[in-house]
Amino acid sequence: MKSEMSRNGANHHENVACPFCGILCDDLDIGPSGDGLKVLKNGCVKSVAGFERPLSEPKPQIDGKDVSLDEAITAAARLIKESRLPVFGGLGTDVDGIRAAIALAEKGGGVVDHALSEGQYRNFRVLQNSGWVLTTLTEARNRADLFIVAGSDIHKLHPRFFERIVCNEASMFSDNPPKRTVVFLGEGLDQSAVAGKRIGEVLTIPAKADRIAEILDAMRAMNKGGAVSGDTIAGLPRAAVEDLLERCKAASYGVIVWAPPSLTFPNADLTVQAISEFVKEINLTSRFAGLSLGGNDGATSAGAVCSWQSGFPLRVSYADGTPDYDPVRFSATKLLDAKEADLLLWLSSFSPDIPPPDTDIPTIFLAAPGFKSARTPKVYIPVGTPGVDHAGTMVRVDNVVSLPLKKLRQSNLPSAADVLEKIEAAL
């Protein structure tokens, strides 16, 4: 895909989509800096770390020794062919990379699972069991007058979410949009980005993250006229919970925001379920929606493509030649811990910050330069980063749009899709 370039010069790229978090902000300006890139406008800590990572083109390796790409591909194909049950994990890549990984897993008789799927399954279980009412980033930005951030440090995961979605001054539907109320429901949540003319009240309700479900269930009961006893609810003053319910009922468009990776306590899917049930019931008399974030490292793309290709979300096995879905049995972590798998192919083309599981079974790494592991892999093939070293496509965290990624620099690193397709051809 040819990159759009501005009048500022052939190496200055405007309206660049950033692949380094699930929001996929698409308004960045990227320019040259020496032999690398520099974020010139609309960056954040994640985009700067990703785009400004120095260009490096290491050689493929077998057992830590440099080899040609063809030799590494042949060795990887041999390992997969000899494996009884390979796991294709990590899956940090773009849509084409995920397609190729699933095709290879199907031919090689393996299991596919993303590095961040444990967080995703806090959502998947609820969607499968009872459904939900979700909004999109665009709808929330233009319509919402109440945001409730539920137990999630959104600013850490998505540094520009508040800037782009919550604090923006313009609206598609009003020349003078109302001020917004932002409620932080949880402890220790970063509120530093919530500022500007559009923001009215900013409230903090310091609930324990694992008790947010109790609060929402009590609000559901009170909304129906049911009796909720006691002066406290989930350790909070009853008046604070009653006030939050009244704000929800008075909102013209309320949104509860959560990020599954932040909900790390046991049975966190029950909190997602409580959010979803509250949203569905408050919609009987008001307009309310949920907004789930996360999706970093290509997780949303992986879940979407796996669903398109197999009919199931992640944690699908092709060991019997057809898609077999089991979200418990086919967790990559569990398969590796139980030594049920005998080969790991780990794909990580965005960030060196998500290392593979520490396992003593043979490993194949397809990873961006700078990737570190506690053990030397049997095969290492460096790959380019989508949206930096090659063009591509990714699915945004709200699952409603796929955004194109631009090639921003000249690199000899192959894409993950190209490498995976060559391995499949060599089987």
- Please report, for residues 186, 195, 323, the alpha-carbon distance to residue 362 in angstroms, rounded to integers and kept in the order given: 42, 50, 24
Are the beta carbons of 292 and 259 closer than 8 angstroms? yes
Q: What is the CATH classification number for the domain harbouring 111?
A: 3.40.50.740
Do 230 and 333 share a domain, yes or no? no
Last residue of a domain, one of 246, 278, 294: 294
Q: Is position 5 within any domain?
A: no
> Strand, helix or coil at 419?
helix
Q: What is the pLDDT of residues 403-417, one digit of tens each?
A: 999 999 999 999 999
Residue 85 has pLDDT above 90, yes or no: yes
Residue that wins the pLDDT comparison between 353 and 242: 242
What is the helix (H) or strand (E) element at residue 288, kind and residue range?
strand 288-292
- Please report, for residues 277, 279, 286, 402, 427, the alpha-carbon distance to residue 282 in angstroms, rounded to integers and kept in the order given: 9, 5, 6, 31, 54
Residue that wins the pLDDT comparison between 286 and 344: 344
Q: What is the pLDDT of residues 184-193, one digit of tens each?
A: 999 999 999 9
Q: What is the pLDDT of residues 23-41, one digit of tens each?
A: 999 999 999 988 789 999 9
pLDDT in the model for residue 136 = 97
Tokens of 356: 């593979």
**Segment 114-118 mean pLDDT:** 94
Q: How would residue 194 be classed by pLDDT, with cut points 50, 70 and 90?
A: very high
Q: Which domain holds residue 97?
A: 61-116+297-426
pLDDT in the model for residue 111 = 98
Do 152 and 250 share a domain, yes or no? yes
Cα–chain center distance at 388: 18
Do 159 and 44 share a domain, yes or no? no
pLDDT in the model for residue 169 = 86
Distance CA 282, CA 331 (A): 35
pLDDT in the model for residue 355 = 84
Tokens of 332: 């990559």
Residue 2 has pLDDT above 60, yes or no: no
Q: Which pTM does this prediction carry?
A: 0.92
Label the pairing between strands 316-317 and 111-112. Answer: antiparallel
Residue 9 has pLDDT above 90, yes or no: no
**Segment 133-158 mean pLDDT:** 96
Do 155 and 77 share a domain, yes or no? no
Q: How would residue 52 be classed by pLDDT, with cut points 50, 70 and 90?
A: very high
Are the beta carbons of 152 and 184 closer than 8 angstroms? no
Counted domains in the chain: 3
Do 175 and 231 share a domain, yes or no? yes
pLDDT in the model for residue 10 = 62
**Residue 171 forms beta bridges with which residues?**
174
Output DSSP code: residue 176.
S
Specify burial of residue 286 (Cβ count, 10 A radius: 0-12, 13-18, 19+): middle
Tokens of 101: 């990984």
**Segment 50-69 mean pLDDT:** 96
Specify burial of residue 321 (Cβ count, 10 A radius: 0-12, 13-18, 19+): exposed
**Segment 312-330 mean pLDDT:** 95
pLDDT in the model for residue 3 = 42
Q: How would residue 341 be classed by pLDDT, with cut points 50, 70 and 90?
A: very high
Do 68 and 90 share a domain, yes or no? yes
Do 159 and 70 share a domain, yes or no? no
For 40, left (φ over 0), alpha (ψ -120 to 50), or beta? alpha
Q: Considering only CA atoms, which of 144, 401, 179, 171 is closest in space to residue 257?
A: 144
Q: At what angle do helices 269-282 and 212-223 cross, to 10 degrees?
A: 20
- Please report, for residues 3, 148, 257, 263, the alpha-carbon distance to residue 279 in angstroms, rounded to integers and kept in the order given: 41, 12, 11, 18
Handedness of CA 204, 205, 209, 213 (dihedral sign): negative
Residue 178 has pLDDT above 90, yes or no: no
Q: How would residue 352 be classed by pLDDT, with cut points 50, 70 and 90?
A: confident
Last residue of a domain, one of 262, 278, 294: 294
Residue 5 has pLDDT above 60, yes or no: no
Do 348 and 406 share a domain, yes or no? yes
Tokens of 99: 């397609």
Q: Is position 56 within any domain?
A: no
Do 248 and 381 share a domain, yes or no? no
Mean pLDDT estimate for the chain: 94
Residue 271 has pLDDT above 50, yes or no: yes
Are the beta carbons of 368 and 346 closer than 8 angstroms? no
Tokens 């003593």 belong to which residue?
Answer: 360
Q: Is position 232 within any domain?
A: yes
Do 205 and 225 share a domain, yes or no? yes
Q: Considering only CA atoms, which of 107, 92, 97 is closest in space to residue 295?
A: 92
pLDDT in the model for residue 373 = 83
Do 210 and 141 share a domain, yes or no? yes
